[in-house]
Structure 1
Amino acid sequence: MRITLRQLQVFQTVCEQRSYSRAAELLALTQPAVSQQIRQLEDVLDHRLFEYVGKKLYRTDAADYLLASTADVFQRFDVLDMQLSELRGTLQGEIRIAAESSAKYLLPHLLAAFQRQHANIYPILNVFNRTQTIRRLNENRDDLVIMTDVPSDLDLDFMPFLSNPIVAVVQAGHLLTQHTGEVPLKALQQFTLLRRENGSGTRKACEAFFHQKHIHFENVVEFNSYEAQREGVSAGLGIAFLPRYCVYRELRDGSLVELPIKELPIVRSWCLVHPRNRHLSPAAQAFENFIVQQRQIVSQIAAKFEV
């Protein structure tokens, strides 16, 4: 098939940007040049790759198949580059890591410890909510993914490596902090719940917990980031269920308080995930080995976040 690597690069960029003009800008090409590359690909494949619905650009089924193959092609070149570097006696290259947003507080510390052992490996970290992370897994976009609650309907290899406790937090001086002893879970229902957006893994875990415990909040305010959610609690807007890792500083300085509730924390595990049919690059394999073999270092990093 008369397909060039440049055509695949243009195609992949259009997929990522969902726009011919933005792809052209990133690739330092004109929009007609991008359109021509896509038309040439379509002629070779005898399939349309994109179609407009209104003003939005959507991939066709053929494009989905090609995108998966394109990711595999470029990943194999990355592996070749790293294998050649191994022959030269140095392990070097990039690792593309996608992580659920709950992991973004801990993961930079893990990457720093890893890079102290592998100075020539450069991580590229992108943070997404759960829905976006699963989409990237389907598209085979990353070397490794860090997430909780690994979907069972995908063909994945995964390894749990660290707990991610979710706790209920309130502003210091909140009415619920005046309880002596444990706070009844039902007592939270009279207050406003500050929750994450639809598609968040933390929201999914909390909603399953509320359903199991028959807890219902009448008043809800929604945020699309932990930072905004945390600020909402600090401002006295309501209660939030948050990963302890993202509020450890506020819990230490006393500006936020973790409520002592018998049924909490909600404990989930972060997992290192990749598609089962994906051949890990030497750099990605080195990071997986680090997580497996350096348990003491991982535990020491996690201990820094304890309150």
Structure 2
Amino acid sequence: MRKALLRMTLRQLQVFRAVCDSLSYSRAAEEMSLTQPAVSLQIRQLEELIGQPLFEYTGKKLYLTDAAEALQRASQDIFGRLENLDMQLSDLRGSLQGQLSLAIESSAQYFVPHLFAAFRRTHPDIHLRLTVVNHGQAVRRLGGDRDDLLIISQIPNDVPLDFLPFLENPIIAVAPPNHPLCKMAHIHLADLTRWPLLVREQGSGTRRACEEYCHQKRAHFPHTLELGSSEAQREGVMAGLGLALLPRHSVRRELDSGLLVELPVAELPLMRSWCVAHPRGKYLSPVAQAFFAYIRAQRSAIVRMADRFTTGPEAVDDRPAPASPVVQ
């Protein structure tokens, strides 16, 4: 190993990572509570130790060089191992501590906070960093090693993953309460095609699943309106812009209050499963191991907890059973 590399400091690597994440010296300085000249100095010192430039400008945009990408991967490994060490030391003290970095598809954001809250009752010193993305972004994140675990609704076929299905994700058709279809007792998916369908953006897992299913059932919607989130879809339906196919979890409160109505479509609900996943062969931190093991051991309790999103506001006992040992 070149001796120059041994003179790198963790502080320099922290500054470097901030520049990589923001692609801006000024934003990195703000994040690190430093001046921009101080950030520039740290990067110049790193470049002298590396012996190569780390960043280059094309126009006004900052790009990582090949050397920066290699250093970024190494720094992720270094800080990941330090974080794992901290978790292991806290575990030896009898209290599992640390941060769980969790990426979830946007339609899972309605139940995941409740899931983590139940898990945290068992491990109160664990903190959460939650990133909400669509399905396409979630798949891309799998190659970046930015997350401990991912909660996803459709497992990609071309990525080797270890995954665990743990909760059904029913997709239903919803309409405003004054819609003509609400008066019908029996509806087929094709009956919905006379009205505009509010859909998510390209890359959404829910949109992809619904498009594939509707194509399979030969239900073709000639008029669609693209909205950027399930919240926008929900509000659009209430505003009378059209119908939507949405996870029942995401509209439970509106169904309970009567703001939306679930249409009795014969071919629905479309059933998918939420899965917790990570790249095959990935080393899991003690915190990630504990969360994965918790989901495996508490699937029945998680289903009971999720019933509050599908069957109404009545109380459901979602207290976890005694914690299982953490296993790799």
TM-score bucket (shorter structure): over 0.9
Aligned partner of 1:23 among 19, 23, 28 = 28
CA distance in 2, matches of 1:56, 1:215: 45
Q: CA RMSD in A?
A: 1.9
CA distance in 1, matches of 2:62, 2:190: 47
Letter in 2 for 1:110: L
Letter in 1 for 2:290: A
- C-alpha change, 1:55 and 1:215, in structure 2 (3 Å) is farther
CA distance in 1, matches of 2:176, 2:44: 57
1:163-182 CA-to-partner distances (Å, cap 9, x unmatched) read 1111111111212222232x
* Pair 1:200 & 2:204 matched: yes
1:49-89 CA-to-partner distances (Å, cap 9, x unmatched) read 43334333333444344333322221111110011112222
Q: Which moved more, 1:216-225 or 1:296-305?
A: 216-225
2:80 counterpart SS class: helix
Letter in 2 for 1:175: P
Bigger relative CO (Cα 8 Å, ≥ 6 apart): 1
2:163 counterpart SS class: strand
2:282 counterpart SS class: coil
Is residue 185–residue 264 contact of structure 2 (8 Å, CA) maintained in 1? Answer: no
Structure 2 unaligned runs (5+)? Answer: 312-328
Structure 1 unaligned runs (5+)? Answer: none
* Pair 1:68 & 2:73 matched: yes
CA distance in 2, matches of 1:152, 1:226: 25
TM-score scaled by structure 2? 0.87
1:4-37 CA-to-partner distances (Å, cap 9, x unmatched) read 2222212221222222211110001222322333
Which contiguous aligned blocks of 4+ residues in structure 1 show a shift greater than 4 angstroms? none
Q: Which residue of 2 aligns with 1:221?
A: 225
CA distance in 1, matches of 2:99, 2:253: 31
Letter in 1 for 2:267: E
Q: Which residue of 1 aligns with 2:144?
A: 139
Aligned partner of 2:183 among 158, 175, 178 = 178
Aligned residues: 306
User: Map of 1:58-207 to 2, 5 A cutoff?
Assistant: 58-181=63-186, 183-207=187-211
Q: Which residue of 1 aligns with 2:321?
A: none
CA distance in 2, matches of 1:226, 1:42: 45
* Pair 1:269 & 2:276 matched: no
Q: Which residue of 1 aligns with 2:245?
A: 241
Letter in 2 for 1:66: L
